[in-house]
Structure 1
Amino acid sequence: MAHNMDAHMKIRGISADLLDLLLRLGAENHPYEFAAILREVDGVISEIDLVPGTTSTEESASIFVDMLPLGTHKAGSAHSHPNGVLWPSDADLNFFPRTGRYHLIIGAPYGPDDWACFTANGEPYEIEVIG
């Protein structure tokens, strides 16, 4: 039974359309960071929620955690690193466990390979681009 539960909790991938949107959001908000909450449907990250009260600067984007949407399909978060570093900062590692299981970092120059996925504890996690 635990095996089935683990399989249910795993993300199979991210929709190509959503990944394209996240890369565009990174470019459009550059040199400021952006942040969003990821939502999954049937194991595929395919939607985002932009959270009211989110603030962005060149150094960080802060989501007002009290404004996070309720729901069972929250998969994690996505945010940009305008400096292009595709590795979580200490602030990211403190934020990840509060917002879900999977976290995307979108980096400059925001091309098709300028992103990475991490688990809530900051471990790299490979996901497939679907569609």
Structure 2
Amino acid sequence: MGLFRSGDVIGIADDALTFALEASRETHPDEYMGLLRGEPASEFGLDHDGLLVTDVLIVPGTESNPVSATVKTNMIPNDFSSVGSVHSHPNGVLQPSQADLATFGKGQVHIIIGHPYGREDWVALDREGKRRSLPVYDVEMDDGEEFFHFTQEDIDAELGLDGDES
């Protein structure tokens, strides 16, 4: 399986868009960058063939400044299937730069989020940098509680501590 997943991207989950907007806001005045992950839309009760953007992957070691963000490709997990990318433009311009276009070769959808990072301050683009439709779907997302459901006692037990050491 390749890094980029096949299948048409039909939209983005509201939770994924909200995460990207908040991450862009928190990273300001530097650029934010992440990769987009998609899941079959049918898994969310949508009567569509294709993929729904459900997650934004933050790649460790990503370097950013006010005019660019660079992902260290060697830090992308081997099993990650991307459908595109998301990055912010702290200057608010929602047009892709030449450098942006050079990174759009893979993936089906690329999102640019502009300052002030509100619900209307983003665009979806195709590989060529042309605007495309990307509807936002309010779907029930798995919040991952089971994965992160552990207590300090669980951690202490895993480390072989009896809990009395402070």
TM range (shorter): 0.7 to 0.9
Tell whether 2:12 aligns with 1:14: yes
Q: CA deviation at 1:12?
A: 1.0
Query: What's the CA shift string for 1:16-72, capped at 9, x where partnerless?
Result: 111111111111111000100100001100111111221000011011123223346
- 1:130 maps to 137
The Cα RMSD (Å) is: 1.4
Residue 79 in structure 1 maps to residue 77 in structure 2: no
> Are 2:106 and 1:108 aligned?
no
Match of 2:76 in 1: 68
Bigger helix fraction: 1
User: Once the two structures are aligned, what percentage of the paired residues are identical?
Assistant: 39
C-alpha change, 1:72 and 1:62, in structure 2 (3 Å) is closer
Cα separation, 1, equivalents of 2:105 and 2:67: 20
| Aligned equivalents of 1:51, 1:72: Cα separation in 2 | 11
Q: 2:124 maps to what in 1? A: 117
Match of 2:61 in 1: 53
* Farther-moved stretch of structure 1 (47-56 vs 30-39): 47-56
TM-score (norm 2): 0.70
Answering whether residue 38 of structure 2 is matched by residue 40 of structure 1, we say: yes
Change (3 A) 1:72 1:53: closer
> How far apart, in 2, do the equivalents of 1:24 and 1:12 lie?
22
Tell me the matched-pair count.
123
Structure 1, unpaired ranges of 5+: 1-7
Cα distance in structure 2, aligned partners of 1:70 and 1:124 = 30
**Alpha-carbon contact 1:39-1:76 (below 8 Å) kept:** yes
3-state secondary structure, aligned to 2:9: coil
Deviations 1:74-129 (A, max 9, x none): 1110000000011110000001114x221000110111010001111211111100
Larger radius of gyration: 2
